[in-house]
Chains A and B, each alone.
Chain A
């Protein structure tokens, strides 16, 4: 986890340095703000990972001498299959088309999005389909 944190922090630091140089050299607002956004994107997750990397023992995937046995046990749960990503995608599709072909298309579009969000949440609590 420490290497992951360092990568993000180094990228953030480089973007930050670039942002400072650009602002004082060019006095241009849009680019400076966007580079500041890039700096934050490096630092926000980077500091989070760095904070935790100092408080946890290295994970088996962080250690070059780790054996497969050390990673034994359930590592995660994965949904076998789900219709809700498809429904959410179709809802987003209709909503975007409503911007062009008529607001009425947003009614089924938003309806599908809500159905999919509620369904996916319920599926997560229930356990879904194998």
Chain B
């Protein structure tokens, strides 16, 4: 296998040597080599350790969440009153464009497949690092510089990009969007796009080639499964966006007329290309968060995950269908095959429903521990269900014609993405002890959960009603209507609650800093990352347990296996 990997300095030994007791394999020689690298900022600049890179991704993406959230606060403040003048029309366009762009391109995606995945996936499969560590480091630098590039737009004369996060042609051409902010936006997505592609390559190669002996694909934790499928989806989708962006740049500066209305160009081609990336991107964002809660719910229910194989096949089915649904974003263009895209979109509800059923099945008759991570996970399931059900409405062309470009759509995808934020927070509370060696404060965490959960519903529910009443999205001012104002105020209160909950998370990091030592496995969790130290050593393991199920750490810690069994009482008797 050596030839598949980057040849360089440090040889990592494999997963333990012969040992009389197979349950405690011998020390991991690779980890025995103490790592005498650079320290301080030079260590950060030169590290190829997936844990350092994962931590860098985590900090950067949470910073982007705060920045994107700040834009949202201004947007919600503007919409508190009709004909408000907190910001002007141009500033408002920049704000909603950059809010969407920062949240989708710079927070949700990189947090999902760059931050926790980078840190956790190699450890979950018993690998010493990602398959291509230097490529992994390059992914992070491209992501960081891409983020800076996009935000630089605010410091240019024309301001940041203002054509919406979807950059529809011809609005994004050089005549309608002449500023440098638009070009910086395109450049940023080129950088972050390559970053994502390299991460997709790395995840797939790592999972295919670096699993520990006995860690067959169908013993991998669901989080790792979901990241494998996410990696494949990244490789399917992101190159299309990158190619589309290069063509957009050529249209803007080299008069290629690919998306223009004259000289043979086709503006709607941009929508095809953008959404061919954009809808798989929804699953690229969602699947890692599905994986996070699928790790958390069994641990805090003291049960194995219900329907392991069903979960895997549901994930693969979502990936398969995701490539055939892109034009449900384009129903109102009048030039797409409505029945095909409607059927394919409705079909995705089936595997997603299986997942929700399995999450509930895992909790059913479990000994539920309502930790912050578990509360966030339950909040995720409820909120994602609301987002998913309203998505079924929008997959139906007649209903979509009615609700398209209204606040109903805004509410639908905010239910979805706020569910992902809940899932991401669950992941942070669950894995922070492994990443840092210290637990986060549970009391603050639970307060944060209730603010975030209630705030999310308060944000979106009025928006569903506003959308059905006809309020269009992306408007800086609305008509003087008492009904609309009341609903917008409620929605803004929800938005501010979410903003406050994010600040509370930052406060929690500060309050809990090196305060509550976690130990190796504070949750009595199941998977391999909880077998090693917190934080794990260089190359991750001193020793590994024998892998005989999808729960190797549980097997090692509970040789008599006192797990609750599905459909049985606590004492194991059937009923």
Task: List residues of chain A with CB under 8 Å of any chain B CB.
Answer: 1, 3-4, 7-8, 10-11, 14-15, 18, 21-22, 25-26, 28, 30-31, 34-35, 37-38, 41, 49, 60-86, 88-90, 92-93, 96-97, 99-101, 120, 123-125, 127-130
Given the complex of chains A and B, what is the CA–CA distance between A110 and B483 in angstroms? 57
Q: A11-B319, A127-B8 are in contact. Are A96 and B190 (CB under 8 A)?
A: yes
Q: Is B503 an interface residue (CB 8 A)?
A: no
Checking B183, B191, B273, B337 against A26 with a beta-carbon cut-off of 8 angstroms, the contacting residue is: B337
Given the complex of chains A and B, what is the CA–CA distance between A82 and B210 in angstroms? 21
Whole-angstrom distance between the Cβ of B138 and the nearest chain A Cβ = 4
Whole-angstrom distance between the Cβ of B159 and the nearest chain A Cβ = 14
Chain B residues with CB under 8 Å of A8's CB are 232
Q: Is B166 an interface residue (CB 8 A)?
A: no
Q: Judging by beta carbons under 8 Å apart, are A78 and B133 in contact?
A: yes
Q: A18-B323, A31-B326, A90-B141 are in contact. Are A77 and B10 (CB under 8 A)?
A: yes
Interface residues of B in 250-294 (CB under 8 A from A): 269, 272-273, 276
Q: Judging by beta carbons under 8 Å apart, are B180 and A30 in contact?
A: no
Closest-by-CB residue of A relative to B143 is A89
26 contacts between A and B (CB under 8 A): A7-B217, A18-B344, A31-B327, A61-B212, A64-B214, A66-B213, A66-B214, A72-B13, A72-B16, A74-B2, A76-B1, A76-B5, A77-B2, A77-B5, A80-B48, A81-B43, A82-B137, A83-B46, A86-B137, A86-B141, A92-B142, A93-B148, A96-B188, A99-B183, A101-B180, A129-B9
Q: Judging by beta carbons under 8 Å apart, are A124 and B6 in contact?
A: yes
Q: Judging by beta carbons under 8 Å apart, are A71 and B187 in contact?
A: no
Q: Is B324 an interface residue (CB 8 A)?
A: yes
Q: Judging by beta carbons under 8 Å apart, are A78 and B5 in contact?
A: yes
Q: A4-B217, A41-B235 are in contact. Are A93 and B15 (CB under 8 A)?
A: no
Q: A34-B240, A78-B133, A83-B45 are in contact. Are A92 and B191 (CB under 8 A)?
A: yes
Checking B134, B211, B319 against A82 with a beta-carbon cut-off of 8 angstroms, the contacting residue is: B134
Q: Judging by beta carbons under 8 Å apart, are A130 and B269 in contact?
A: no
Q: Judging by beta carbons under 8 Å apart, are B8 and A80 in contact?
A: yes
Chain B residues with CB under 8 Å of A90's CB are 141, 145
Closest-by-CB residue of A relative to B545 is A68
Q: Judging by beta carbons under 8 Å apart, are A68 and B25 in contact?
A: yes
Whole-angstrom distance between the Cβ of B543 and the nearest chain A Cβ = 9
Given the complex of chains A and B, what is the CA–CA distance between A90 and B327 in angstroms? 37
Whole-angstrom distance between the Cβ of B204 and the nearest chain A Cβ = 9
Interface range, B side: 35 or more
Q: Judging by beta carbons under 8 Å apart, are B337 and A22 in contact?
A: yes
Chain B residues with CB under 8 Å of A75's CB are 1-2, 12-15, 128, 210
Chain A residues with CB under 8 Å of B194's CB are 92
Chain B residues with CB under 8 Å of A37's CB are 236, 240
Q: Judging by beta carbons under 8 Å apart, are B36 and A76 in contact?
A: no
Closest-by-CB residue of A relative to B18 is A69
Whole-angstrom distance between the Cβ of A20 and the nearest chain B Cβ = 12
Chain A residues with CB under 8 Å of B323's CB are 15, 18, 35, 38
Chain A residues with CB under 8 Å of B16's CB are 68-69, 71-72
Q: A62-B216, A64-B219, A67-B214 are in contact. Are A25 and B145 (CB under 8 A)?
A: no
Closest-by-CB residue of B relative to A79 is B8
Q: A97-B187, A124-B6 are in contact. Are A81 and B149 (CB under 8 A)?
A: no
Closest-by-CB residue of A relative to B549 is A64
Q: Mark B519-557, 1 if CB is under 8 A from A, else 0.
A: 000000000000000000001000010111000000000
Q: Judging by beta carbons under 8 Å apart, are B212 and A93 in contact?
A: no
Q: Judging by beta carbons under 8 Å apart, are A72 and B337 in contact?
A: no
Chain B residues with CB under 8 Å of A101's CB are 180
Q: Judging by beta carbons under 8 Å apart, are A72 and B133 in contact?
A: no
Q: Is B403 an interface residue (CB 8 A)?
A: no
Checking A14, A77, A96, A130 against B6 with a beta-carbon cut-off of 8 angstroms, the contacting residue is: A77
Q: Judging by beta carbons under 8 Å apart, are A80 and B10 in contact?
A: yes
Whole-angstrom distance between the Cβ of A55 and the nearest chain B Cβ = 16
Pick the 3 closest A-B CB pairs, nearest first.
A89-B141, A60-B213, A79-B8
Interface residues of B in 7-59 (CB under 8 A from A): 7-19, 22, 25, 33, 35-38, 43, 45-49
Whole-angstrom distance between the Cβ of B214 and the nearest chain A Cβ = 5
Q: Judging by beta carbons under 8 Å apart, are A77 and B9 in contact?
A: yes
Q: Judging by beta carbons under 8 Å apart, are A86 and B46 in contact?
A: yes
Chain B residues with CB under 8 Å of A65's CB are 214
Closest-by-CB residue of A relative to B220 is A61
Q: Judging by beta carbons under 8 Å apart, are B316 and A7 in contact?
A: yes
Q: Judging by beta carbons under 8 Å apart, are A73 and B13 in contact?
A: yes
Task: Specify which of B324, B327, B546 lies most central, judged by the most chain A CB atoms within 10 Å of its CB.
Answer: B324
Given the complex of chains A and B, what is the CA–CA distance between A61 and B544 in angstroms? 14
Whole-angstrom distance between the Cβ of A1 and the nearest chain B Cβ = 8
Checking A1, A7, A22, A82 against B48 with a beta-carbon cut-off of 8 angstroms, the contacting residue is: A82
Knowing that A74-B12, A78-B12 touch, tell me 5 more A-B residue pairs with CB under 8 angstroms.
Answer: A68-B25, A77-B9, A83-B46, A90-B141, A129-B46
Checking B43, B136, B210, B273 against A76 with a beta-carbon cut-off of 8 angstroms, the contacting residue is: B210
Chain A residues with CB under 8 Å of B36's CB are 130
Q: Judging by beta carbons under 8 Å apart, are B8 and A78 in contact?
A: yes
Q: Judging by beta carbons under 8 Å apart, are A64 and B216 in contact?
A: yes
Given the complex of chains A and B, what is the CA–CA distance between A38 and B240 in angstroms? 10
